[in-house]
């Protein structure tokens, strides 16, 4: 049975000190999670902190608690109290939390807190590395541990690591405010699978990776060196059946006794209320509790006919925060509730009943099932499970959910009344619509949401994440089977040395030479000259440099007397050793007058892009441009060029941050076929890194060695990691003795 290691901020247990010993119980969250069947397929182990924030544990206490928690499959981490507070209340809650929720005015940038954050992540890594094995799965949860994936990856590169973020991921313009943004991204990229609640967060994360790391993605996959990782959407569900069954129990012939039920009934009857609104969330500035209360006040002002007929219960769950902003928020909420009740309340009617306390899950279900409307309006929320819990608790399908369009849950719960949480008039109108909504309409909306919640529950969420993680590992293993490692490199070299008539097709940029922001800076160095001289000096070799470069550049860089064949501009120009450049066929070049003005227009619209003029093609480069803008302009330019070139017999080639427009039918594959001639070669090698090299790979016979530089999707049989390794392979061809 596989071991599943779950790392989170807190262990899923409740620990108290009683009678000179620790009393440990499973937390309510673990008890009601609905993941029992999921965990039964694994050997689960939880790694996290205890609930004791301001206590430095002695060695004896550490030993005792570790022994006790082992029975609960928990492995505790024991940081010093100061480090823990700086990590949690400093960097996690006062830096990452407000930044990720777009509350930049609440962000503090503290070097001391950042160092504590790094230190706690390292403590987790050290603890996990004590017992983790390559066959285990490590599932890391949330923003407290964003550095942990890479820390574990460095020591255990073969282990499966998943990271799930329960909070939003901000746009790059917000994320770039963080001084340690690069370290955070690098830490997260240590995972094999990174999960977010919505596609918006995926898109923001991918944009930050592209801009900060210069790493491109293919759909939702990112290739870093030889490793491919995946970024995907996994909206968290709830234990739907539990909420449903407990709600049915409340309304059965023999309901379970509950203080909340009695108080709710008395509250509705004493005020002779027609409708009761429930609003539950943490007392946190991201949840918009004051806005909800103001919106209800606006409703009472706008629709006075509903005064003394509609009340609202606000449960603001204490967040455990002790900062000044928290106390200011609590004071503001207290003031708003007092003002509304003072201005509108009567002896028999209380407009707002405010509860600043934590309820059990059963008590929350009582609140959900006995109210009529849920007003859930966070200003920004990763998901918001309260909205899902409310719908699941509607035993008869009635009830109306008013939901913030800035909550992650809004992406799934389209049938709710969606509103902007900052638009008080819109919320007031939404409350009126909810109060007046016929039961048939309520049931119609809720039925669709209930079916969705039942299908995509918390167990399916967890299963899909782990299945996707295992799928990524399969992709990585498949990639490794095609990798030119030391063993396979030795096999290729052995084959090379055993043959007498060889032909080598070598791309230039990204294969023999590294990419440069300025293409002119990618000229050959002495090491490359030495490799090519030795290869071309062997009379058994035919060396073909097959490049998209123009012939003038290649002529400047390489002596025509060398025994090297050149193909320039993807197959337009040919040059045999000691001869002049020539074309295989005449090409019409008049089309440039039509296309060039459009490229100039896009240069003007895309800062730092430029045009490269070749003899029979035009190339628009956007490597230096803003990554997102360059990609967008490339799409726009391709779309316009398709219309313009449809009758001109031209082809648009999409290279590595370049668009090349050239005469149709001319490509590297056709040129390679011409060079292969009548055959007779007993060793054929083709190496390239670009989309344009796929033509070359296609033109090769089955027994050829076709190698892609990088791990992008390819028709090549193998891939090699870098330009350095391409050069190493070519060096080994020319050595009499080499290290295998």
Number of domains in the chain: 4
Look at residues 193, 217, 233 and tell me which one is the last residue of a structural domain. 233
Question: Is this prediction's pTM over 0.85?
Answer: no
Length of the chain: 740
Q: Which residue has the higher pLDDT, 104 or 629?
A: 104
Nearest alpha-carbon partner for 9 in 89, 69, 71, 70: 89
Q: Which residue has the higher pLDDT, 487 or 727?
A: 727
Whether residue 440 is predicted with pLDDT greater than 80 in this model: the reply is yes
Judging by beta carbons within 10 Å of its beta carbon (0-12, 13-18, 19+), is residue 230 exposed, middle or buried? buried
Q: What is the mean pLDDT of residues 126-151?
A: 97
Measured between alpha carbons, how far is 638 from 653 in angstroms, rounded to an integer?
9
Residue 436 maps to which CATH number? Answer: 3.40.50.2000
Instruction: Annotate 44-69 with b (16+ C-beta within 10 A) or e (fewer).
Output: bbbbbbbebeeeebeeeeeeebeebb
681 with 642, same domain: the answer is: no
Whether residue 316 is predicted with pLDDT greater than 70 in this model: the reply is yes
The one catalytic residue in 83, 136, 232, 507 is: 507
∠593-599-605 over CA atoms, to 5°? 145
Q: What is the mean pLDDT of residues 164-176?
A: 96
544 with 401, same domain: the answer is: no
Pair 402, 419: CB distance under 8 Å: yes
Look at residues 194, 216, 233 and tell me which one is the last residue of a structural domain. 233
Which tens digits make up the pLDDT trace of 594-641? 889 999 999 998 998 999 888 778 999 998 888 888 888 888 888 888
pLDDT at 101: 97
Strand partners, 252: none
Pair 313, 277: CB distance under 8 Å: yes
Whether residue 322 is predicted with pLDDT greater than 80 in this model: the reply is no
682 with 547, same domain: the answer is: yes
| 693 domain-assigned | yes
Q: Which residue has the higher pLDDT, 208 or 320?
A: 208
428 with 524, same domain: the answer is: no
| 365 domain-assigned | yes
Measured between alpha carbons, how far is 238 from 392 in angstroms, rounded to an integer?
9
Q: Count the Cβ atoms, other than its own, within 10 Å of residue 485.
A: 14
315 three-state secondary structure: strand
| 401 domain-assigned | yes
27 with 132, same domain: the answer is: yes
pLDDT at 740: 44
Q: What is the mean pLDDT of residues 166-195?
A: 96
Whether residue 481 is predicted with pLDDT greater than 70 in this model: the reply is no
491 with 635, same domain: the answer is: no
Whether residue 736 is predicted with pLDDT greater than 80 in this model: the reply is no
| 463 domain-assigned | no
Q: What is the mean pLDDT of residues 142-162?
A: 96
154 three-state secondary structure: helix
| 470 domain-assigned | no
Which residue is associated with the tokens 């379970």? 256
Residue 545 maps to which CATH number? Answer: 3.40.50.1000
DSSP state of 78: -
| 452 domain-assigned | no
Whether residue 559 is predicted with pLDDT greater than 80 in this model: the reply is yes
pLDDT at 678: 63
pLDDT category at 301 given cuts 50, 70, 90 is very high
Whether residue 34 is predicted with pLDDT greater than 50 in this model: the reply is yes
Mean of pLDDT over the chain: 90
227 with 361, same domain: the answer is: no
DSSP string computed for 581-600: -EESS----TTHHHHHHHHH
Whether residue 506 is predicted with pLDDT greater than 70 in this model: the reply is yes
Beta strands in 393-476 (DSSP E): 400-404, 417-419
Residue 610 maps to which CATH number? Answer: 3.30.70.1020
Pair 137, 469: CB distance under 8 Å: yes
583 with 648, same domain: the answer is: no
Residue 729's domain comprises 481-587+666-734
DSSP state of 381: B
| 64 domain-assigned | yes
Q: Count the Cβ atoms, other than its own, within 10 Å of residue 503.
A: 21
363 with 496, same domain: the answer is: no
* Element containing residue 17 per DSSP (H, E): strand 13-18
Pair 659, 634: CB distance under 8 Å: yes
Q: 19 an active-site residue?
A: no
Residues 6+ apart with CB under 8 A from 715: 694, 697, 698, 706
Look at residues 635, 663, 691 and tell me which one is the last residue of a structural domain. 663
pLDDT at 738: 46
For the chain, give the percent of residues with pLDDT over 70: 97
682 with 616, same domain: the answer is: no
Which residue is associated with the tokens 């949480």? 421
Q: Which residue has the higher pLDDT, 634 or 117?
A: 117
438 with 361, same domain: the answer is: yes
Pair 162, 136: CB distance under 8 Å: no
Which tens digits make up the pLDDT trace of 676-718? 986 789 999 999 998 889 989 999 999 999 999 987 778 899 9
402 with 376, same domain: the answer is: yes
| 469 domain-assigned | no
543 three-state secondary structure: strand
Judging by beta carbons within 10 Å of its beta carbon (0-12, 13-18, 19+), is residue 214 exposed, middle or buried? exposed
Strand partners, 683: 502
Per-range mean pLDDT, top range of 32-36, 401-405, 711-715: 401-405
Measured between alpha carbons, how far is 50 from 739 in angstroms, rounded to an integer?
52
């Amino acid at each position: 049975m596989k071991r599943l290691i779950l790392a989170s901020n807190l262990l899923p247990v409740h620990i108290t000190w009683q009678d000179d010993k620790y009393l440990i119980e499973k937390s309510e969250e673990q008890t009601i999670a609905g993941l029992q069947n999921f965990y039964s397929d694994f050997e689960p182990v939880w790694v996290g902190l205890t609930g004791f924030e301001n206590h430095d544990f002695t060695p004896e206490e550490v030993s005792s608690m570790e022994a006790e928690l082992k029975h609960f499959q928990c492995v505790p981490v024991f940081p010093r109290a100061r480090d823990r507070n700086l990590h949690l209340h400093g960097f996690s809650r006062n830096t990452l939390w407000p930044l990720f929720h777009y509350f930049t005015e609440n962000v503090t940038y503290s070097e001391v807190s950042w160092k504590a954050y790094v230190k706690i992540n390292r403590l987790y890594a050290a603890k996990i590395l004590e017992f983790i094995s390559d066959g285990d799965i490590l599932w890391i949860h949330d923003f407290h541990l964003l550095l942990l994936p890479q820390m574990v990856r460095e020591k255990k590169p073969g282990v499966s690591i998943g990271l799930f973020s329960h909070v939003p991921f901000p746009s790059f313009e917000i994320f770039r405010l963080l001084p340690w943004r690069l370290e955070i991204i690098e830490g997260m990229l240590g995972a094999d699978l990174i999960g977010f609640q919505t596609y918006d967060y995926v898109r923001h994360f991918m944009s930050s990776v592209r801009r900060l790391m210069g790493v491109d993605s293919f759909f939702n996959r990112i290739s870093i060196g030889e490793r491919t990782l995946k970024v995907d959407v996994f909206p968290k569900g709830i234990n739907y059946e539990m909420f449903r069954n407990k709600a049915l129990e409340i309304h059965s012939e023999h309901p379970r006794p509950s203080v909340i039920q009695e108080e709710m009934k008395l509250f509705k009857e004493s005020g002779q209320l027609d409708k009761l609104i429930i609003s539950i969330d943490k007392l946190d500035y991201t949840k918009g509790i004051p806005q909800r209360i103001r919106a209800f006040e606006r409703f009472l002002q706008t629709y006075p006919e509903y005064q003394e007929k509609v009340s609202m219960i606000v449960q603001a769950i204490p967040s455990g925060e002790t900062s000044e902003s928290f106390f200011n928020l609590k004071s503001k909420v207290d003031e708003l509730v007092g003002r509304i009740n003072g201005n509108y309340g009567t002896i028999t009617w209380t407009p707002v009943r405010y509860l600043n306390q934590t309820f059990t899950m059963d008590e929350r279900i009582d609140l959900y099932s006995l109210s009529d409307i849920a007003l859930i309006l966070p200003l920004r929320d990763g998901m918001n499970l309260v909205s899902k819990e409310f719908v699941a608790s509607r035993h008869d399908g009635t009830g109306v959910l008013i939901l913030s369009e800035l909550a992650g849950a809004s992406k799934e719960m389209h049938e709710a009344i969606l509103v902007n949480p900052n638009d008080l008039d819109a919320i007031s109108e939404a409350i009126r619509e909810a109060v007046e909504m016929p039961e048939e309409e309520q049931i119609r909306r809720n039925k669709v949401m209930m079916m969705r919640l039942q299908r995509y529950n918390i167990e399916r969420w967890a299963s899909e994440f782990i299945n996707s993680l295992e799928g990524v590992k399969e992709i990585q293993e498949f990639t490794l089977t095609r990798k030119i490692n030391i063993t396979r490199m030795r096999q290729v070299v052995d084959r090379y040395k055993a043959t007498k008539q060889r032909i080598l097709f070598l791309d230039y940029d990204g294969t023999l030479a590294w990419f440069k922001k300025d293409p002119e800076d990618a000229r050959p160095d002495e090491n490359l000259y030495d490799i090519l001289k030795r290869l071309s000096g062997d009379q058994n070799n035919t060396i073909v440099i097959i490049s998209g470069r123009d012939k003038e550049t290649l002529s400047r860089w390489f002596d025509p007397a060398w025994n090297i064949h050149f193909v320039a501009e993807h197959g337009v120009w040919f040059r045999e050793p000691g001869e002049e450049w020539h074309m295989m066929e005449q090409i019409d070049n008049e089309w440039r007058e039509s296309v060039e003005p459009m490229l100039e227009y896009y240069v003007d619209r895309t800062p730092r892009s430029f045009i490269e003029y070749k003899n029979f093609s035009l190339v628009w480069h956007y490597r230096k441009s803003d990554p997102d803008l360059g990609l967008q302009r490339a799409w726009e330019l391709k779309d316009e060029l398709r219309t313009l070139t449809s009758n001109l017999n031209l082809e648009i080639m999409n290279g590595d941050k370049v668009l090349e427009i050239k005469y149709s039918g001319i490509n590297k594959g056709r040129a390679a076929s011409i060079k292969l001639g009548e055959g007779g070669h007993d060793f054929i090698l083709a190496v390239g890194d670009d989309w344009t090299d796929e033509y070359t790979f296609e033109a090769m016979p089955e027994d050829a060695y076709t190698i892609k530089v990088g791990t992008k999707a390819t028709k090549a049989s193998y891939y090699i990691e870098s330009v350095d390794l391409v050069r190493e392979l070519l060096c080994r061809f020319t050595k009499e003795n080499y290290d295998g």
